[in-house]
Amino acid sequence: MKVLVIGSGGREHALCWALKKSPLIGELYAAPGNGGMSAIADCVNIPVSNHHALVEFCGKNNIDFVVVGPEQPLVEGLVDELEEVGIAAFGPNRAAAILEGSKSYTKDFCSRHKIPTAAYRCFSNLAAAEAYIQQQGAPIVVKADGLAAGKGAIVCATVDEALAAAQDVLGGLFGHAGSEIVVEDFMVGEEASLFALCDGKTALPLVAAQDHKQVGDGDTGPNTGGMGAYSPAPVLDDDHIKEAMERIILPTLEGMAAEGRAFKGVLYAGLMMTDEGPKLIEYNVRFGDPECQVIMARLDCDLLPALQAAANGTLDQIDLKWRDEHAVCVVMAAKGYPGNYEKGTRVAGLDQANAISDVTVFHAGTEAKNGEIFSNGGRVLGVTATAGDIEGAVRKAYHGVDLIDWPEGFCRRDIAWRAIKRVD
C-alpha cells in the first residue's frame, strides 16, 4: 500500500514511526513532513493548507490511504475532498470535525445530549460577556470558539483577568477564532486525556495519557501546545475509562450520528477528573501532541489496520494490543516559546540521544539542511522513552534530553511529576 501522512509535527512523526512498522505499507509519504520524518518517509513539499495540491498528489501517485494529522485541514474539510475522488482517509469529515472547530457547538451539543461538562455561556458581545463574568465571579475560564493552536483557553484566577481575557479574545487576539467566546465555570480536579478510535458507530478506547500544558515547572506560566506527556495516566484508571466511555464518548458518538454528523477518526476527550466523576473539558478531533508520541510508543500491534477500520466502519473487528511499559515524552522548545522565539538554530546530539535503548527523538519544528538539523518552530523535539516503571522512563527521557546540544532550547524538568508523586 501507498500511505500519505499529512502534517509536520511530532504527532505526525510518531504516526509515521508507527506506520513504518506495518508490513502492509510499501511506500510511506509525508506532506510536508519535517527534518526527522524524512528519515522514514518520502517528504513532499506541499503545505497542509493546499488541499488541491494534496488531492492532486494522491491521484497522481496512486495513494491508497491518507492519515490527516492536524486539526485545521480536518475542520476545513480535507477528508471530504479526498473521499469525493475515491481516496480513503483517516479523520472526520467537515461536519463531524466541528467538535473541535467550534467550542460553542460542542458545549451546546453536550447540553442537548446530557454529556457532563462545565456550566457555560457563549458570547459574541463584549458587554454581555463582561456582565456574565461579573455575575459568576472567579476563577473562571474564557475560551476562543475556534481553532487557536491549543492556546485558546485562558484560566482566569480573578474577575479582572477574565474581563481582560474576554476583551483580548473578542478584540482579535486569536483572529477569527475569537469572534465568539465560551465563558465556563472553573472545574476542580486533575486533567487527563482519553483517546478513542471511532468509525461512526463503534468506539475503541486507547491507553490513557496525560500532558503538561503550561510552559513552566510546577504547571506554571501560560498554556502551550504541550510541554510533555506520559502514559499510562494513573488518574485515569480502567474504571474511570469505562465511566468516561459510557457517559461521554459513546453518547457523543450516538448524538453525532443522530444529528447527521457521524464521527470517524480519533476522538480526543480532554477530561477533568472531578469528585463527581470525569467531565468533558473539550474535544479535539485528532491525536494530541505530545500524547500521540507516548501512545504510539506503547502500541504493540499494527496501527494501519486500525486506522483503516475507523475509516471503513469495521472497528468492531479490531483488537488493539499495548506494551505494559510506561512512556514519557519531554518536549524541547525554542527559548521564548510560547511567545517570540528564534528559528534556524542548529540542533546537534540527536544521534546520541536516539542511541539510548528505548529512546526515540520525535521531530516537530525542524528542518534538515546539508545533513544537519535546524529549529523551525516553537516546539521542536519530543524526546520519548519507555521503561518498566514511570521513574525509569523519566530518567531515560531526560538522559536523551541532556545529550542534545541545543543552547537555544529549553524543556520542563518535571514531566510526569503527578504520576511519580502517586508512586511515592
Nearest to 245 by CA among 261, 269, 266, 281: 269
pLDDT digits (tens, 9 = 90+) for 291-309: 999 999 999 999 999 999 9
Assign 3-state DSSP to the chain and report helix, strand, coil percentages, each to 5.
Answer: 35, 30, 35
pLDDT at 418: 92
pLDDT value at 204 more than 90: yes
Residue 103 lies in a domain: no
Any domain includes 30: yes
Which pLDDT score is estimated for 151? 75
User: Based on the domain organization, do 168 and 201 belong to the same domain?
Assistant: no
Dist CA 278 CA 270 (whole Å): 10
Query: DSSP for 180-203?
Result: SEEEEEPPPSEEEEEEEEEESS-E
Using the 3D structure, point to which of 138, 158, 185 is the last residue of a domain. 185
Cα–Cα distance, 188 to 2 (Å, whole number): 46
CB 131 within 8 Å of CB 121: no
User: How are beta strands 190-199 and 228-231 bridged, if at all?
Assistant: unpaired
Of 88-102, 121-135, 137-151, 281-295, the range with the lowest mean pLDDT is 137-151
Q: Determine the average pLDDT of the residues in 338-357.
A: 97
Asked whether the beta carbons of 247 and 254 are under 8 A apart, the reply is no
Mean pLDDT over the full length of the chain:
96
Q: The C-alpha cell of 45 is what? A: 513539499
Do 312 and 202 fall into the same domain? yes
pLDDT over 80 (residue 150): no
Q: Look at residue 423 and tell me whether its pLDDT is greater than 90.
A: no
Domain boundary (289, 317, 345) is at: 317
Question: Is 107 a member of any domain?
Answer: no
- pLDDT tens-digit readout, 65-109: 999 999 999 999 999 999 999 999 999 999 999 999 999 999 999
CATH, residue 167 = 3.30.1490.20
Domain stop point among 252, 283, 317: 317
Instruction: Work out the percent of the chain whose per-residue pLDDT is above 70.
Output: 100
Q: Name all contacts of 132-140 with Cβ < 8 Å and 24+ positions apart.
A: 132/183, 133/159, 133/162, 133/163, 133/166, 133/183, 134/159, 134/163, 136/183, 136/185, 138/162, 138/186, 139/186, 140/183, 140/184, 140/185, 140/186
Which cell is 48 given?
497542509
Cell matching residue 136:
459568576
d(CA 88, CA 103): 28
Query: What's the domain range around 48?
Result: 2-94
Query: 415 and 339, same structural domain?
Result: yes
Q: pTM of the full predicted structure?
A: 0.94
- The CA-atom distances, in angstroms, between 140 and each of 65, 151, 286 are 43, 16, 27
Which cell numbers hold the place of 294? 507516548
Residue 337 forms beta bridges with which residues?
none
> Is residue 108, in this structure, part of any structural domain at all?
no
Residue 207 within any structural domain of the chain? yes
Average pLDDT value for residue range 47-71: 98
Question: Which pLDDT score is estimated for 424?
Answer: 63
Q: Could you read off the pLDDT of 243-253 as tens digits, one per residue? A: 999 999 999 99
